[in-house]
Chain A
Amino acid sequence: MNTSTTRREILRNALGAGAVAIGLPALLAACGSDDKTSSGTSPGGTSPITADGSADTAPAASTPLDTTPTDRGALDFRLSYTHGVGFSGTYLAIASGAYERAGFSSVNLIAGGPTATPSPVDVATGKAFVGVASTPDQVAAARINGGATVKIIASLYQKNPYCVTSMADNPILTPQDMVGKTIGVQAANETVWAAFIAAAGIDPGSVSTVPVQFDPTPLTVGEVDGWFSFVINEPVTLAAKGFEVETMLLADHGYPLVAQVYLASDKSIADRRDDLKAVLAAEIEGWIVAIADPTAGPQLVISDYAADLGLDLAVQTTVSNIQNALILTEETKASGLMTMTDDLIAGNLATLRLSGLEITAEDLFDLSLLAEIYAANPTLISDLASLTADG
């Protein structure tokens, strides 16, 4: 979208020329061609939207947005993590043609990863136009600590998805149960974890925290007594493997925190409102499909986007169902997906304050784009009436 030639691009071209000068053209070319097949630009990279006639024959009336399709070019969209069911709605928005109808020629999904830069970086630096961050504390930290001018423009999960998972024979059912025990916490979640401990009135010295990575074996063999994660991840995996586990949801203990939040830069919110609204409207369409058919997302994930990760369809469908229950609540059924009530906003700010992130609602959230979308397209809300999500 940014077409101005920068110093960096000139240099990049020069680097390419340098490779030729060093005398490795044949070898580099050989690996270059390798790259096309192996690094998978089709699932991970740009998804070209083919004009297969449906766009031409489908009149503007069928698009939820009452605008004639304008050419918005390619969209750079940063995901909060590697490809997976967490982005079902996005995949379905692409597959159903919602993005194409909204005027985007292609959607370039930039996947995250265990040591990826946080999403706010890519959005603030302009590498991505829109991004998804797993939790709002990332955005607040980016704004407060880093001076990144980004805001949350929509929030997909309404309920705090964090939970402490424990083995059924050594259960943790209340925050007090954690005293004297060891909990495994991934570094990225430590901010939320510290806030939770503080809010629960537990002496931080009475609970021992150790860093963990991706493998929940430390929990199953008892090296740790609890495992801090999203409820859609490790608990589902462990149950699928036949382990009896208990989960204590933070949402059930008075710590509201939305998750999978969409963010954009202040500048885009001011100057490119229509483009942002087009993205959000397409996402909402996609997520409505994902809720209506909880298997559609997982199927796309396994056949296409994360085909090389060896995921299991049944497990991923379970994840999809639990996820839908975090998205479709009584509130969002009434006011539209991704919206936030004033209470929810206040609760989130209070939770963030416990993490030492003091920020006002105006600085962190701008939900006016969503409001304008729903005002113009009430069917996006009425379509939800018939849907259910029963985790």
Chain B
Amino acid sequence: MTITLIAPRAQHHRPWSAMLRHRGTAGVIGVVSVFALWTLVATARPALFPLPTDVVQSLRDDWSLIWRNARATQSVALRGWLWGNGTALALAAVVAILPRLERATLRFAAIVYCLPALAIGPVLQVVLDGDNPKVALSALAVFFTTLVGALVGLRSASASALDVIHAAGGGRPTALRMVRLRASLPHLFASMRIAGPAAVLGAILGEYLGGSTGLGPAMVSAQQQLAVPRTWALGFAATALAAAAYFVAALLGRLTSPWATTTSTEVTALGERTSLRGSTGWRLLTAPVSLAATLAAAIAGWWGMIWLFDLDPLVAKSPVDVWDYVIAGPQAANHRTDLVDAMGATLQSAGVGYVAGTVTAVVMVITFVRWRTLQYIAMPAAVVMQSVPLGVFTPIFLIIFGRGITSTAFICGTVTFFPTLVMTLAAVRSVPTAILDVFDASGASATTKLRKAQLPAAIPALLAAGRVAVPRAVVGALLVEWIATGKGIGYLMLRATTMFEYTRLWAAVVVCTVTMIVLYTIVSSLESMVLNRLGNQ
């Protein structure tokens, strides 16, 4: 997978000061236009939008409240970030030494990534005490992207450097220590940029599980009190926290691995490619087998967790319980119909969201390639969009655009588009200058360059991003159902929780997770097929 969220190469040619000035001006224009637009909208619909001045006033008046809650959330997010990244890195190191484990590890991590927070929240609450369920949710939000980034990174070490280690008699651990770790840093920091906002949003999600401190409960309380400016001020604090986490990782990446921008071109060996040798036909044949093996491992892991954590059967249903509910029991046929119908509705929303998010991302990439200045204006905005706690602003959106397809596309698209944008942009930017020079020399237009050189480079990235974006689209759809439509498998899970129907909940989780894993497998198979074809040309 191209997880190269690496800075555009062209910056390299320009002096830092000039670039900063350029970016600074663009940034100021961006901020000013946002405020102008906001004031306009707030004047038109005062019942929905607070004036910027009111929000600034609230930021000042409620500063100590905002600060205390932000610190509480930051504490949870930081611990979640450390645990999530720590676990991901430890696993990546194991895989680096035992490469055979890579595919199984990635699949397993994907399953964990696909588990809906609503479903694992209760289990985490029963197993863990105090703040720890929140930390765990935050860690889970981080774990997968970092694992993928670290694996790609560890593999990106140059073959010649590894040969030197090998020739000198060094084994895999030595290679890991001396070459791979260093080579992986750019990728690592790239995925950690995504991890920062994810940890903050995961922490806020965790805060909804219970407690009276943190930005999550404070936002809910402000909403309940109709304290609109304060709600927005808290929302901005959460956004700022998430964006700060993004930029700290970006800065650290710059400082510790300044060579990142030059190595990006080397890294086009993607995803599971190394473990997917053989003909396309053979792979299509083995894909269901490996999928079945993954699912079998997941079921074993499921039982293992119940045994290991001594989970109470009231809350933690076993594979047998779910089997009875969906397949063997007297009501199984009805249950199946309910679950399949609900999942179908969810997939429709997810499809709308994925298309909306991907189209937005591709349009942005094309725009950025043609007019680079726009990137400096819009990229911070994209980071902000990624970091906004949706709970604050979705009610307004629902009021304006209703509870139909527009809102679904927007909310679900928002959670989907960012990985696609970042990965695709990096791929387009990584087209070697030499190739572009050929186009320039032959007098090709910018459009031709884009169409013939840059967009083809984006296709693998689009598919690679799909592995993160497709599960996210389903998660986004669950969110939409929960807050807007009251339909689909997301709402079914919510109702099952409140009605104490835990077998139904677990069955829904299984249906939802298996669907996501199947989608994930399809996307990765597509990815490796495309990569192989591109590689063979």
Task: Give A contacts to B, CB under 8 Å.
Answer: 6-8, 11-12, 19, 22, 24, 27-28, 31, 34-35, 37-41, 43-45, 82-83, 110-118, 120-122, 124-125, 127, 138, 141-142, 144-148, 187-188, 190-191, 209-218, 220-221, 223, 233-234, 237-238, 240-241, 305-306, 308-312, 315
Known: A121-B315, A310-B218. 12 other contacts (CB 8 A): A8-B310, A38-B71, A39-B75, A113-B208, A120-B500, A121-B122, A125-B315, A148-B314, A218-B398, A238-B226, A308-B69, A310-B225
Among A11, A34, A146, A315, the residue within 8 A (CB) of B309 is A11
Complex Cα gap A24–B82 (Å) = 8
Q: Which residues of A contact B72 (CB under 8 A)?
A: 38-40, 308
B69 touches A221 (CB 8 A): no
A223 touches B398 (CB 8 A): yes
- Evaluate whether A117 and B122 lie within 8 angstroms (CB atoms) in the complex, with A141-B500, A191-B499, A214-B223 already known: yes
B75 touches A34 (CB 8 A): yes
Query: Could you say which of B128, B212, B502 has the most chain A C-beta atoms within 10 Å of its C-beta?
Result: B212
Task: Give B contacts to A, CB under 8 Å.
Answer: 47-48, 62, 65, 68-69, 71-72, 74-76, 78-79, 82-83, 86, 90, 118, 121-122, 125-128, 130-131, 205, 207-214, 216-218, 220-228, 230-231, 308-310, 312, 314-315, 391, 395-396, 398-399, 403, 482-486, 491, 494-495, 497-502
13 sample A-B contacts, Cβ–Cβ < 8 Å, listed by A number: A34-B78, A38-B213, A39-B130, A40-B213, A82-B220, A117-B315, A148-B500, A188-B498, A213-B395, A237-B225, A309-B212, A310-B225, A310-B230
Among A6, A39, A115, A213, the residue within 8 A (CB) of B213 is A39
B65 touches A310 (CB 8 A): yes
- Evaluate whether A187 and B75 lie within 8 angstroms (CB atoms) in the complex, with A114-B220, A148-B314 already known: no
Q: Which residues of B contact A240 (CB under 8 A)?
A: 225
Q: Which residues of B contact A138 (CB under 8 A)?
A: 498, 500
* Distance between B314 CB and nearest chain A CB, rounded to angstroms: 5
A35 touches B231 (CB 8 A): no
Complex Cα gap A315–B221 (Å) = 13
Among B47, B125, B127, B491, the residue within 8 A (CB) of A217 is B47
B210 touches A215 (CB 8 A): no
Q: Which residue of B lies closest to A146 (CB)?
A: B500
A142 touches B226 (CB 8 A): no
Q: Which residues of A contact B90 (CB under 8 A)?
A: 22
Q: Which residues of A contact B495 (CB under 8 A)?
A: 187, 190
Q: Which residues of B contact A113 (CB under 8 A)?
A: 207-211, 216-217
Those 8 A-B pairs whose CB atoms lie nearest each other, nearest first: A215-B223, A146-B500, A113-B210, A309-B221, A38-B72, A117-B122, A211-B486, A83-B212
Q: Which residues of A contact B62 (CB under 8 A)?
A: 310
* Distance between B189 CB and nearest chain A CB, rounded to angstroms: 17
B209 touches A187 (CB 8 A): no
- Evaluate whether A8 and B309 lie within 8 angstroms (CB atoms) in the complex, with A44-B213, A118-B497, A218-B395 already known: yes
B494 touches A187 (CB 8 A): yes
B79 touches A31 (CB 8 A): yes
Complex Cα gap A244–B121 (Å) = 39
Complex Cα gap A234–B82 (Å) = 39
A223 touches B82 (CB 8 A): no
Complex Cα gap A12–B133 (Å) = 13
Q: Which residue of A lies closest to B124 (CB)?
A: A117
B65 touches A35 (CB 8 A): no
A27 touches B65 (CB 8 A): no
Complex Cα gap A38–B130 (Å) = 13
B225 touches A82 (CB 8 A): no
Complex Cα gap A51–B501 (Å) = 44
A115 touches B500 (CB 8 A): no
Q: Which residues of B contact A127 (CB under 8 A)?
A: 126
B76 touches A214 (CB 8 A): no
Among A41, A124, A147, A310, the residue within 8 A (CB) of B222 is A310
* Distance between A132 CB and nearest chain B CB, rounded to angstroms: 13
A117 touches B224 (CB 8 A): no
Q: Which residue of B lies closest to A124 (CB)?
A: B314
Q: Which residues of A contact B205 (CB under 8 A)?
A: 115
B231 touches A191 (CB 8 A): no
Q: Which residues of B contact A40 (CB under 8 A)?
A: 72, 212-213
- Evaluate whether A309 and B122 lie within 8 angstroms (CB atoms) in the complex, with A83-B212, A213-B483 already known: no
Q: Which residues of A contact B207 (CB under 8 A)?
A: 113
B126 touches A22 (CB 8 A): no
* Distance between B372 CB and nearest chain A CB, rounded to angstroms: 38
Q: Which residues of A contact B310 (CB under 8 A)?
A: 6-8
Among A22, A188, A306, the residue within 8 A (CB) of B212 is A306
Q: Which residues of B contact A24 (CB under 8 A)?
A: 82, 86
Among B130, B226, B482, the residue within 8 A (CB) of A45 is B130
Complex Cα gap A115–B204 (Å) = 11
Complex Cα gap A209–B126 (Å) = 32
Complex Cα gap A52–B410 (Å) = 58
Complex Cα gap A174–B506 (Å) = 40
Q: Which residue of A lies closest to B219 (CB)?
A: A214
Q: Which residues of A contact B78 (CB under 8 A)?
A: 31, 34
B121 touches A214 (CB 8 A): no
Among A211, A306, A309, A315, the residue within 8 A (CB) of B483 is A211
